[in-house]
Amino acid sequence: MEILENREEWKARFEEWWANYQRTGTPDWKAYPLPRNSTAPSGPGVDLSQSRLLFISSAGGYLRDEQPPFDAAHPLGDYSLRLFPVDTPLERLAFSHDHYDHAAVEQDPQVLVPLRHLEAMVDEGIIGALAPTVVGFMGYLPDVTRLVDELIPAVLEAVRAETPDAVLLVPA
């Protein structure tokens, strides 16, 4: 199935939006073409208590002292990944994403990156195991064709390497 249905129609509307953005210097979000699909992916459920869960975050998190931040100010976003260990101490995370207020996540990173909650759920037997790596990106990605062509293949490669049974996404 297609990740983005009616891709060419969407791309044409996006190019109009982007041209207007470049002309005016301001994004007109009322005119932005939200991606819309008609079909949801199908697949079997899993017994989470016997499964390996991988966590994906689009909060723009990265390792403060070891990784470069995302290009949060770019008008078309940043389609790269940051991978970090699921047992990362929360104080080692920083967030580069200009499209949400960081007050909550700076006070309590688990509002977006619930690493300690997930570990507790493993200890309680709710989750079988956690994949060792968190897959992270910055969720401001207005060009959905670039998301499909660049980001998703990279995410899938990172996911396959972790051999999970299930995946949790928490957007910002």
| Contact residues: another protein, CB under 8 A | 34-48, 51, 53-54, 100-105, 107-108, 110-112, 114, 117-118, 121, 126-127, 156, 159, 164-172
Q: Which two tokens stand for residue 81?
A: 């990944």
Closest to another protein by CB, 23 or 29 = 29
Partners of residue 84 on adjacent β-strands: 134
Q: Cβ of residue 103: shortest distance to another protein, in angstroms?
A: 7
Closest to another protein by CB, 134 or 172 = 172
Closest to another protein by CB, 22 or 151 = 151
Q: What angle do CA 45, 80, 107 make, to 5 degrees?
A: 75
Q: Cβ of residue 124: shortest distance to another protein, in angstroms?
A: 10
Q: Cβ of residue 130: shortest distance to another protein, in angstroms?
A: 12
Closest to another protein by CB, 92 or 102 = 102
Q: Cβ of residue 40: shortest distance to another protein, in angstroms?
A: 4
Q: Cβ of residue 81: shortest distance to another protein, in angstroms?
A: 15
Closest to another protein by CB, 52 or 82 = 52
Instruction: Please enumerate, as own/partner, the contacts of 96-101 that have beta carbons within 8 Å and a separation of 24 or more.
Output: 96/60, 96/62, 96/69, 96/70, 96/71, 96/72, 96/138, 97/59, 97/60, 97/70, 97/72, 97/138, 97/139, 97/140, 97/172, 98/72, 98/73, 98/140, 99/72, 99/139, 99/140, 99/172, 100/172
